[in-house]
């Protein structure tokens, strides 16, 4: 593995996240995958270990607002279980809009409890007819006096039902198009806000994925994030900042599959010797490890760039998410190949890893959307050079 020159504190974060994940998530991951039970037990342990506030400033109860440190922990957790990894990361996604656009009052009200892991957050953007085309949103927030009346349904919301704090994007003025959306903070338990069914998914099965249903839900104007009309800016800035986290999940899942493949190849004897001595297997493992390391270097690189204060990192963040998630998909499938028939069986964890990996190519912007972003960036950059 490349030496990333981690500080003592970063080594501590990585090792602690690994320890907690191994002790709390590893023994349960197969069962949680089977039943879809929400991993509260693991989340409670991360909270007690102070790992929930790595991306939150210290004055808001966090450990110092670092995308890189957050990625380190997310990777280690995802290495053991992708479902637990996304549950951990989705709370950061859900609360990042508050960090970026919240008033001091809003930050003080919500962030300390999220930093302490006492409450989870969730981000509500996607709808049935608005996935990659976020402009197709149909959920509306109509202003009436001091309140907004929200109607509509958000779909496939990670941590839905389990989170206490939701950030929501809704249309406040249809006529204004892209400037007609606004962002809000909604608390669980607000009258008119309920949850739809829990989805039965291919992978990351222990994570909660549900509809958020709003029926004449009254939200006080103090819950507006930023200004009216800034909804899409809130969403895009948030997704830019959390994209390396998806990359870290993907790197973690891929590393987990590589770990399993190496372990198995050393134990499995065919033709009278462990299969890791066979060049055919070594070459698969060599490609896997090279790809995982390249993905990690890209994710760490962009995370450090953001922490160093870079303003324009959209293209790099997209590249990291794209490459890491494609790598996770490829490497987990390769791991199944190394394990052969055993890899295809649920007794071994690699088939789950492949199912978990698939979503990283889809959520928080499909990899096709990432390519669009990167392409757009290339055009912008070349235009500047003229």
Partner 1 sequence: MNIIVCIKQVPDTTEVKINPETNTLVREGVPSVVNPFDENAVEAALKLKEKHGGKVTVITMGPPQASEALKTTIAMGVDEVYLISDRAFAGSDTWATSYTLSQAIKKIGDYNLILCGKQAIDGDTAQVGPGIAEWLNIPQVTFAVKLEVEGNKAKVERMLEEVNEVVECPLPAVITVVKQINEPRMPSLKGMMRAKKAEIKTLNAQDIEGDPKNMGLNGSPTQVVKIFSPPPKGGGEMLTGEPSEIVDNLIAKIKERKIG
So which residues are the catalytic ones? Answer: 364
25, 43, 56, 63: residue in contact with partner 1 (rule CB under 8 A) = 63
Q: Smallest distance from the beta carbon of 206 to partner 1, in angstroms? A: 20
Q: Considering only 29-37, 47-55, 176-184, 365-373, which stretch makes contact with partner 1 by CB under 8 A?
A: 47-55
7, 12, 27, 31: residue in contact with partner 1 (rule CB under 8 A) = 12
Nearer to partner 1 by C-beta: 24 or 79? 24
Distance (Å) of CA 333 to CA 72, 353, 366: 24, 9, 19
- Least Cα distance to 228 among 188, 165, 169 occurs for 169
Number of CB atoms found within 10 A of residue 97's CB? 29
Report d(CA 247, CA 299) in Å as an integer: 6
Count of residues of this chain found to bind partner 1 when the rule CB under 8 A is applied: 14
Nearer to partner 1 by C-beta: 31 or 48? 48
Contact between residue 172 and residue 229 where contact means Cβ atoms under 8 Å apart: yes
Nearer to partner 1 by C-beta: 8 or 144? 8
Nearer to partner 1 by C-beta: 20 or 224? 20
Return contacts of 42-48, CB within 8 angstroms, 24+ apart: 42/77, 42/81, 42/84, 42/87, 43/84, 43/87, 43/88, 43/117, 43/120, 44/117, 45/20, 46/17, 46/20, 46/73, 46/77, 46/88, 46/117, 47/116, 47/117, 47/118, 48/117
Report d(CA 284, CA 281) in Å as an integer: 5
23 binds partner 1 (CB under 8 A): yes
Q: Considering only 10-18, 77-85, 120-128, 357-365, which stretch makes contact with partner 1 by CB under 8 A?
A: 10-18
Q: Considering only 11-19, 150-158, 177-185, 235-243, which stretch makes contact with partner 1 by CB under 8 A?
A: 11-19
Nearer to partner 1 by C-beta: 23 or 34? 23
34, 48, 216, 381: residue in contact with partner 1 (rule CB under 8 A) = 48
Nearer to partner 1 by C-beta: 8 or 347? 8
Q: Smallest distance from the beta carbon of 63 to partner 1, in angstroms? A: 6
Contact between residue 299 and residue 244 where contact means Cβ atoms under 8 Å apart: yes
Report d(CA 241, CA 234) in Å as an integer: 11
- Least Cα distance to 241 among 82, 53, 97 occurs for 97
37, 41, 50, 199: residue in contact with partner 1 (rule CB under 8 A) = 50
Token pair in block for residue 224: 């507006």
20 binds partner 1 (CB under 8 A): yes
3, 8, 146, 347: residue in contact with partner 1 (rule CB under 8 A) = 8
Which residue bears the tokens 């450990």? 63
4, 6, 10, 16: residue in contact with partner 1 (rule CB under 8 A) = 16
Which 215-274 residues touch partner 1, going by CB under 8 A?
A: none
């Amino acid at each position: 593995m490349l030496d990333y020159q981690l500080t003592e504190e970063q080594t501590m974060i990585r090792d602690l996240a690994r320890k907690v994940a191994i002790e709390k998530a590893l023994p349960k991951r197969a069962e949680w995958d089977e039943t879809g039970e929400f991993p509260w037990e693991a989340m409670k342990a991360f909270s007690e270990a102070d790992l929930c506030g790595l991306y939150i400033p210290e004055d808001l109860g966090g450990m110092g607002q670092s995308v890189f440190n957050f990625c380190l922990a997310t990777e280690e957790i995802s290495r053991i279980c992708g479902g637990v990894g996304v549950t951990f990361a989705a709370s950061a996604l859900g609360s990042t809009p508050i960090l970026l656009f919240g008033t001091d009052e809003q930050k003080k009200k919500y962030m300390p409890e999220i930093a302490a892991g006492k409450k989870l957050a969730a981000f509500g953007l996607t709808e049935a007819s608005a996935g990659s085309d976020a402009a197709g949103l149909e959920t509306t927030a109509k202003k009436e006096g001091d309140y907004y009346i929200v109607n509509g349904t958000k779909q496939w919301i990670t941590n839905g039902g389990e989170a206490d704090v939701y950030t929501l994007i809704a249309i406040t003025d249809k006529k204004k198009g892209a400037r007609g959306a606004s962002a809000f903070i909604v608390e669980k338990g607000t009258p008119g806000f309920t949850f739809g069914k829990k989805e039965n998914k291919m992978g990351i099965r222990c994570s909660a994925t549900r509809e958020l249903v709003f029926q004449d839900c009254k939200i006080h104007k103090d819950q507006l994030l930023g200004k009216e009309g800034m909804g899409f800016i809130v969403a895009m800035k948030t997704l830019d900042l959390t994209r390396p986290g998806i990359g870290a999940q993907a790197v973690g899942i891929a590393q987990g599959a590589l770990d399993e493949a190496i372990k198995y190849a050393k134990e499995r004897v065919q033709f009278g010797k462990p299969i890791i001595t066979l060049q055919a297997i070594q070459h698969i493992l060599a490609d896997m490890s090279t790809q995982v390391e390249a993905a990690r270097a890209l994710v760490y690189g962009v995370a450090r760039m953001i922490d160093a204060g870079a303003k324009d990192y959209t293209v790099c963040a997209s590249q990291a998410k794209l490459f890491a998630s494609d790598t996770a998909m490829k490497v987990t499938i390769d791991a199944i190949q190394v394990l052969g028939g055993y890899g295809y069986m649920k007794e071994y964890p690699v088939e789950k890893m492949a199912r978990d990996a698939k979503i990283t190519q889809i959520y928080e912007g499909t990899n096709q959307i990432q390519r669009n972003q990167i392409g757009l960036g290339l055009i912008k950059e070349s235009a500047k050079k003229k």
